[in-house]
Amino acid sequence: SDHDLLMMTFRLRLKKISKPKHTRLTFDLEKLKDPNVLESFQAMIGVRFAPLTIMSNENTDMDSMITTFNTTVTETASEILGKHRQKKKSWITAEILDLCDKRRELRKKRFEPEGSEKYKEVNNNIKRCMKKAEEN
């Protein structure tokens, strides 16, 4: 036959699949059930929409009105309501989630002498609270 057998080696480099950069903001809407929070949210929205009503009397384009509307609502919701934190387990409390946020901030400073001690302390505290909450 006129075929020659070949043997080869090759390297394959896989690309990392990038995750979407912007995820949808979800706010903690459960806080709106509290009358005090609801009242403060409505007051803040009213204060921020007052300039929009003045702008609407003038001839402005709709695109700028929509963008200002969206930014005012998201800024107000993030200030008053905060982000919605998904609980993966039903027994996790808000206190544990706050400690996790604190640990996330301290993680950046954990290679400094003071930061490592605080990080370890908060991490151990989280573990203790999680064990206690899971048992309860």
Bridge partners of residue 87, in order along the sequence: none
Position 125 scores a pLDDT of: 92
Over residues 117-136, the pLDDT tens digits come to 888 889 999 999 989 988 88
Which residues lie below 8 Å from residue 78, measured CB to CB, with a gap of 6+?
25, 27
Does the pTM exceed 0.85? no
Over residues 32-57, the pLDDT tens digits come to 888 998 899 888 888 888 776 666 56
Q: Are 53 and 45 in contact (CB under 8 A)?
A: no
Separate counts of helices (H) and strands (E) for the chain: 4, 0
Confidence grade of residue 80 (pLDDT, cut at 50, 70, 90) = confident
The number of beta carbons lying within 10 Å of the beta carbon of residue 130 is: 17
**Rounded Cα distance, 116 and 122, in Å:** 10
Statement: residue 97 has pLDDT above 80: yes
Q: Both tokens of residue 27? A: 């706010």
